[in-house]
Amino acid sequence: METYDALLAAITPTSGATRTILDPATGTAVGEAPVHTVQDLERAVAAAEAAQPAWAALGHDARSAALLRAADAVERSAEELARLLSREQGKPLNGPNARFEVGACAAWLRVAATTVLEPETVVDDGETRAELHYRPIGVVGAIGPWNWPMMITVWQIAPALRMGNAVVVKPSEYTPLSVLALAKVLNEELPEGLLTVVSGGRDVGARLAEHPAVGKVMFTGSTATGKAIIRSSADTVKRLTLELGGNDAGIVLPDADPKAIAEGLFWGAFINTGQTCAALKRLYVHSDIYEAVCEELTTVAAAMPMGNGLDENNVLGPLQNRQQFDIVARLVEAARDSGAKILLGGNPATDQPGHFYPATLVADIDNANPLVAEEQFGPALPIIRYSTVDEAVAMANALDVGLGASVWSSDPVAAREVAARIQSGTVWINKHGAVDPRVPFGGAKQSGYGLEFGVEGLKALGVPQVING
């Protein structure tokens, strides 16, 4: 374990171009990030190619042991990593935020290391014996987002490494320090050249997506960027796992208990101050309990403190960047102008530093309103009234995305029946966004394709090979 200052110093460039990273809560400097180039990427890919065969040759057991040691290293530096994450991304230390994210990194490493993936005997009838194995891909490119920079990076690299691949990571330009620091800690337990972070701009990401030596790209981010990666990867027929934009719907059935579900609804929508791909972003509530749900949800939201993430009392923080702040503000104002009712929030302070937008609940809003139809990716939740379950399901399925969804009910059987009708990769019941490293996760429609986590996630980082004979 090292101090926060030592960790930051270890990732601070001593030469080359740099960019100052600002704290979204205060506007003050967090540190200097390297501005890597395409040439730096080429060197990283070459190093990965050189390191990968020996890593693959170690076998699953030795690679798993290294990942478990890497998880131990994350835990030794957990507080320092969480503090850096809070300062760079903005999320508070407490609640389901910075400390939670660093803990999740260790948890995902451990599950990736210990999940069993045995060869599968497909046919064995006395005449034919066919076995399905999974071999390393080679070099994997990992392109991550700014909202959960450490955790999603681990989602990408842990199964890739476990399956015998080398990884080159391209972090978001908004949150490179967190990923650089995480990789520094992980590399204490990994061979040199196996895991490299290239902190560059869009040109670096574009080259990674098209690089002939990269056999697979894992990407979490917008649907538009995902489509660009698909195009860039076509000439080399890369394997892809894409976790793209979502606009998750939640349906509250008329038998739900408004008070009992209010806190779950709140965190489903406002985890990481709403900056989560699989957060609850549009809530459909039956007219019989609409007013009660609005009242209970407002009570919970009003009690949640927002402020600087390093303050131990806060559980909501700023939006990570001004661009996202402006998107949320525009959508809320459009809702206000349309006649929707602002139950809470909608009035960001203009006399303080930081990108703070208050937790905002919007009722009596039309389903076609931009706040509902567009992914706001921030702390603003539209609450839409419905009359029949068929109507709610139709509205939930109307968009071209389908990452996650949820159904809220006192009747598990009824909830499952509705869940089966929703077009999304995951449907939660009486919770939202609760990902688990053992449970496959992926999107439907334009929310992407490919599965992460668990056995299916490991398979996605290997090349299937059938041995027949």
Whole-number pLDDT of residue 469 = 87
Give per-residue pLDDT as tens, 368-396: 999 999 999 999 999 999 999 999 999 99
Report residue 350's pLDDT band, with 50, 70 and 90 as the boundaries. confident
d(CA 23, CA 354): 8
Contact 344/382 with Cβ under 8 angstroms?
no
What average pLDDT score do residues 353-367 get? 97
In contact, 106 and 28? CB cutoff 8 Å: no
Q: Which residues are catalytic?
A: 243, 277
At residue 2, does pLDDT exceed 80? no
Q: How confident is the model at residue 351 (pLDDT cuts 50, 70, 90)?
A: confident
- The predicted model gives 70-83 an average pLDDT of 98
pLDDT digits (tens, 9 = 90+) for 448-465: 999 999 999 999 999 999
- Domains belonging to the chain, first-starting first, are 4-244+447-468 (3.40.605.10), 248-429 (3.40.309.10)
Share of the chain above pLDDT 70, in %: 100
Q: Mean pLDDT throughout 131-144?
A: 98
pLDDT at position 1: 65
Confidence of residue 422 (pLDDT cuts 50, 70, 90): very high
pTM confidence score: 0.96
pLDDT band at 133 (very low <50, low <70, confident <90, very high): very high
pLDDT digits (tens, 9 = 90+) for 143-202: 999 999 999 999 999 999 999 999 999 999 999 999 999 999 999 999 999 999 999 999
228-267 pLDDT per residue, tens: 999 999 999 999 999 999 999 999 999 999 999 999 999 9
b/e code 324-340 from CB counts within 10 Å (16+ = b): bbebbbebbeebbeeeb
Round the average pLDDT of the chain to a whole number and report it. Answer: 97
